[in-house]
Amino acid sequence: MANSTQKDRTSSTTGHSGGMGNNPSSTTGAAGAALEHGKEMAGSAAEASKGVAGNVMEKAGEAASYVGRKAEDATSSVGSGMRSLADTIRDKGPHEGFLGGATSAVADTLASGGRYLERHGLSGIGEDMTSLIRRNPIPAILIGFGLGFMMARATRS
């Protein structure tokens, strides 16, 4: 009987009957808690990165909008400059004869182009180009091939 009592004391002091290091359920519980904590951290990191990405996208959109407005303003300014140049050509150029007719034609073309740029801007140019290509697809494709060929020749030299 003394032998069995000694066995009970040994098992209770060495931890075989309930020590934390050898209890499979407590090890699994700790690993599960760590896994859950890792999942929570990954989820919060993903949410944070989505927020940052959303802010970056918003800022990029604002920058693109700003650049677009500035380009439209610049186009309008170029149109105004073209009209001013047309007036200068009319005033300073010859008024009679062959050169007078050429001067008048150049001034009229510059004034017309300037008015177009002031009214329509870059977006109007894009819309007009789109409708022109839709009405004339074959010439547009041929022009595209020709421009591509010329650019390839220019960069190869």
Kindly report, residue by residue over 68-119, the tens digit of the pLDDT. Answer: 788 888 888 888 899 999 999 989 888 888 888 899 999 999 999 999 988 8
- Residue 157's pLDDT band, with cuts at 50, 70 and 90, is low
Check pLDDT > 90 for residue 65: no
Write down the pTM of the prediction.
0.49
In the numeric block, which tokens belong to residue 117?
A: 């740029």
Per-residue confidence (pLDDT) for residue 85, from 0 to 100: 92
- Section 150-157 average pLDDT: 88
User: Domain coordinates of the chain in residue numbers?
Assistant: 38-121
Residue of higher predicted confidence among 60 and 107 = 107
Give the angle subtended at the CA of 56 by the CAs of 51 and 57, to the nearest 5°. Answer: 95
Q: What is the mean pLDDT of the chain?
A: 79
> In this predicted structure, what is the pLDDT of residue 148?
94
Percent of the chain with pLDDT over 90: 31
Confidence bin at 25 (pLDDT 50/70/90): low
Please give the helix or strand (H or E) that residue 84 lies within, else none.
helix 24-92
Burial zone of 114 (CB within 10 Å; 0-12 exposed, 13-18 middle, 19+ buried): buried
